[in-house]
Amino acid sequence: MSTFDTLGLDAPLIQAIQDLGFTKPSEVQQKAIPILLGEETDLVALAQTGTGKTAAFGFPLIQKIDPSRKHTQGLILSPTRELCLQITNEIKLYAKYIPGLHTVAIYGGASITEQASQIKRGAQIVVATPGRMKDMINRGLINITQIDYCILDEADEMLNMGFYEDIQDILSNTPKEKRTWLFSATMPKEVSVIAKKFMNQPVEITVGSKNSGASTIVHEYYVAGSRDRYQALKRLADAHPEIFSVVFCRTKRDCQKVAENLIEDGYNAAALHGDLSQNQRDLVMSSFRKKQIQMLVATDVAARGIDVDDITHVINYQLPDEIETYTHRSGRTGRAGKEGVSMVIVTRSELRKISHIEKIIQQKFTLKNIPTGMEICEIQLFALANKIKNTEINHDVDEYLPKINEVLDGLTKEELIKKIVSVEFGRFYNYYNKTRDLNASEPSDRGDRAERSEGYSSSNADSVRYFINVGSRDGFNWGTLKDFIRDTVGLGKDDVYKVDVKDSFSFFNSDTTAKDIILETFHEFKVDGRFINVEVSTEGPGNFKGKPKGKRDFDRPGFKKSKPSFDKGGYQGKGGFDKKKKFEFDPAKKSKRRQGFG
Ligand code: AMP
């Protein structure tokens, strides 16, 4: 078995490693450290976050840097501020027994003057996000013309985030002879291009197989109806009482909505997305780290660089647009040799995406049943019994014991246990008792057949026709309605077509693949307090005659037949829609749906 002593690291690093409690090098450390400490070379390492890659490049970098010389010798580029700060902290811990070695973090959203003065005082290692780094170079606040090592960390993420040109500009300010070490979780074409263009015969190492998720992660999927996604999410959380998770949604709006619903239903949840200020995001992240938040509902962009150990579950509330993104999501769990579970909630029509992901990660998914209400009750009951058993006794209650004994006098031990457990358990039982099975049935089942005929009779296998309860009276024409649907759902330019605007309602088509997201987006969706209702039309494309079959939904509670408020300004097309004002949730409506335990 390899130990840190055999890798060629100097005593001050070994001492720091002991302080950190690392007993044995991780796979990427075993592979990378001897190479990087040996002859000067470029390196491409395929490794996920959580595999110990910061130390894999950090230890050799620290050992190779000359702390007696003040100029910047090593530059680490990382995709996010979060990750930049984490790398900086780690490097500082690793270098704690090396006097004179200074590491400075350079990232957006903080004072550039303060960062510039830290650099001026001397920083042999600079950890930076590409945008701020380029800014500092342009303003002449940093000199990287003499660096010996450049590390591109999470290169795939940096490229995903559109930093290609920034990286290119930054590298053009570095000497040709420097060594480049590139770390990436996946190896898309764009990363190979960087490796080819900017690196010199790099040595390649791979941890696990190429593009594969860390082997400590178990992948599971749950098949639910598109309208049951949220209920399924709650059940997955309730079936894991100790869950500490990141829940991924595709859009900021979904992310906010799911987090709000979870909070209202009594879960320790919070949203993390790009519409929050940096301060708000910092606060959310700090509560998450302290485990005050059990369910962090995040978009892919906001979750980049989340580097929190101990995340027990990643829940894919929706699958990502880019299937490759799944690897980044699942890599948030199963870190540092721990076990993790990545769960995916899918509808039947998304099932083929699971096999696509299996090919990419080269790991199998297990089909699991969404737990039934009674299964959850049983799990919660035993979790409660264990919690009681493991709770440390607070002896401050001793003085009240005689009086408590008086109150509970006459109860047998069995009765007492039943009563204590019922205090907590009652809430779960009352909620889950008699709830239905959420597992989406097989295609042969009645429900699914109904769903199919609904989807296919109105259109064809590839395209779905929808009814929407807004029309020209609401200020829409075909163009503005198309924009409204597309912007609200977050679809591409040509994803909505055959828009047919009538007086008080309209029709449109989308590809079948977009059906779930469209129906889900417009599920209980309101603008200015009015429900905007979308459903699959039973009419063929363009053959609508007479009244829409979906009319029954006008009778939904909360739907007002009164003239909608669009005509106050109508939908103003691109940029004209005041989302902040209009895309509001109606708390009164939600409290009626409330099913929580809070
Ligand atoms: P990273 O992949 O660099 O983000 O590392 C993930 C976590 O693993 C960090 O919290 C490190 O401190 C920790 N870590 C790194 N190397 C080891 C090791 N050899 N043994 C135990 N923990 C480690």
Rounded CA gap, 102 and 92, in Å? 8
- CA 358 to ligand 1 center in whole angstroms: 26
Q: Give the span between the Cα atoms of 245 and 330, in whole angstroms.
A: 11
Identify the residue whose tokens are 């000067």. 40
Q: 54 in ligand 1 pocket by Cβ < 6 Å?
A: yes
- How many angstroms separate the CA atoms of 462 and 167, rounded? 41
Q: How much is the CA Rg of the chain, to the nearest whole Å?
A: 28
50 Cα–ligand 1 center, Å: 6
Q: Which residues contact 403 (CB under 8 A, 6 or more apart)?
A: none
CATH of the domain at 463: 3.30.70.330
The number of the ligand 1 atom at minimal distance from the alpha carbon of 50 is 2
Q: Is 45:28 a contact under the CB 8 Å cutoff? A: yes
Q: Are residues 134 and 252 in the same domain?
A: no
Q: Which of 317, 342, 367 is the last residue of a domain?
A: 367
Residues 380 and 355 in one domain: no
**What is the three-class DSSP state of 246?**
strand
Does residue 437 lie in a domain region?
no
50 lines ligand 1 (CB under 6 A): yes
With respect to residue 438, please indicate whether it lies within any of the assigned structural domains: no
| Inter-residue contact 362 to 212 (CB < 8 Å) | yes
Same domain? For 410 and 279 the reply is no
Whether 345 maps to a domain, the answer reads yes
pTM over 0.85: no
Helix, strand, coil shares, percent, the chain, to 5: 45, 15, 40
Domain that holds residue 93: 4-206
Give me the sheet containing 203-206, strands edge to edge.
103-106, 125-128, 74-77, 149-152, 179-184, 43-46, 203-206
Q: Tell me, in angstroms, the distance from the centre of ligand 1 to residue 335's CA.
A: 8
502 & 559 share domain: yes
288 and 411 within one domain = no
- Give distance in angstroms: CA of 132 to centre of ligand 1: 26
- Domain boundary, last residue among 172, 187, 206: 206
Atom of ligand 1 nearest to the CA of 86: 4
Ligand 1 lined by 203 (C-beta under 6 Å): no
pLDDT at 282: 87
Q: Quote the CA–CA distance of 152 and 139 in Å, as a whole number.
A: 22
Same domain, 177 and 34: yes
Calpha distance 256→249 (Å, rounded): 9
Query: What would the two tokens of residue 350 be?
Result: 């998304």
Evaluate: CB of 130 within 6 angstroms of ligand 1. no
Tell me the C-alpha distance between 472 and 563, whole Å: 12
CATH number of the domain that residue 95 is part of = 3.40.50.300
For residue 303, report the distance from its CA to the centre of ligand 1, in Å: 19
Ligand 1 in reach of 55 Cβ (< 6 A): yes
Question: Looking at the structure, do residues 228 and 353 belong to the same domain, yes or no?
Answer: yes
Three-state SS at 314: strand
Q: Ligand 1 pocket, 48 CB below 6 A?
A: no
The model's pLDDT over 500-522, given as tens digits with 9 standing for 90+, comes to 888 888 999 988 888 888 998 88
Residues of the chain below pLDDT 50: 209-214, 443-458, 540-598
Ligand 1 pocket residue status of 332, Cβ below 6 Å: no
Atom index in ligand 1 nearest the CA of residue 22 equals 20
Q: How far apart, in whole angstroms, are the C-alpha atoms of residue 369 and residue 224? A: 9
**β-bridge pairing 245-248 and 313-316:** parallel
* Ligand 1 center from residue 582 Cα (angstroms): 45
189 and 52 both lie in a single domain: yes
Q: How many angstroms separate the most distant Cα atoms in the chain?
A: 85
On whether both 9 and 133 belong to a single domain, the answer is yes
- Do strands 313-316 and 506-511 pair parallel, antiparallel, or not at all (unpaired)? unpaired
Q: Considering only CA atoms, which residue is closest to atom 20 of ligand 1? A: 22
Query: Distance between CA 58 and CA 74 in Å, rounded?
Result: 10
Length of the chain equals: 598
**Distance of CA 340 from the midpoint of ligand 1 (Å):** 15
- Residue 212 in any domain: the answer is no
* From 1, 7, 20, mutation site for ligand 1 pocket: most ligand atoms within 8 A of C-beta: 20
Q: Is 116 in the pocket of ligand 1 (CB under 6 A)?
A: no
Instruction: Give the Cα separation of 303 and 19 in Å (integer).
Output: 30
Cα–Cα distance, 258 to 538 (Å, whole number): 30
The reply to whether ligand 1 has any atom less than 6 angstroms from the CB of 261 is: no
Domain identity same for 397 and 362: no
Residue 52 alpha carbon to ligand 1 centre in Å: 4
pLDDT digits (tens, 9 = 90+) for 55-83: 999 999 999 999 999 999 999 999 888 88
Within-domain flag for 275 = yes
Ligand 1 in reach of 26 Cβ (< 6 A) = yes
DSSP codes of every residue in 57-72: HHHHHHHHS-TTS-S-
The reply to whether 223 and 344 lie within a common domain is yes
- Residue 479 to residue 440: CA distance in whole angstroms: 36
- In this structure, the residue with its CA closest to atom 4 of ligand 1 is 50
Collect all residues with Cβ–Cβ distance below 8 Å to 38 and sequence separation of at least 6. 8
Q: How far apart are the first and last CA of the chain?
A: 49
Kindly state whether residue 439 falls inside one of the protein's structural domains. Answer: no
Q: Collapsing DSSP states into helix, strand and coil, what is residue 183?
A: strand
Q: What is the pLDDT of residue 337?
A: 62
CB neighbour burial string for 193-204, b if at least 16 within 10 angstroms, e if fewer:
ebbeebbeebbe
- Identify the CA nearest to 281 among candidates 42, 80, 420, 528: 80
Do residue 559 and residue 520 come from a single domain? yes
**Residue at token pair 């990232």:** 107
Last residue of a domain, one of 206, 225, 251: 206
**Domains: count for the chain:** 4
Whether the CB of 53 sits within 6 Å of ligand 1: yes
Q: Is residue 465 part of a domain?
A: yes
Cβ proximity of 55 and 9 under 8 Å: no
Asked if the structure places residue 469 within a domain, the reply is: yes
Q: Does 52 contact ligand 1 (Cβ within 6 A)?
A: yes
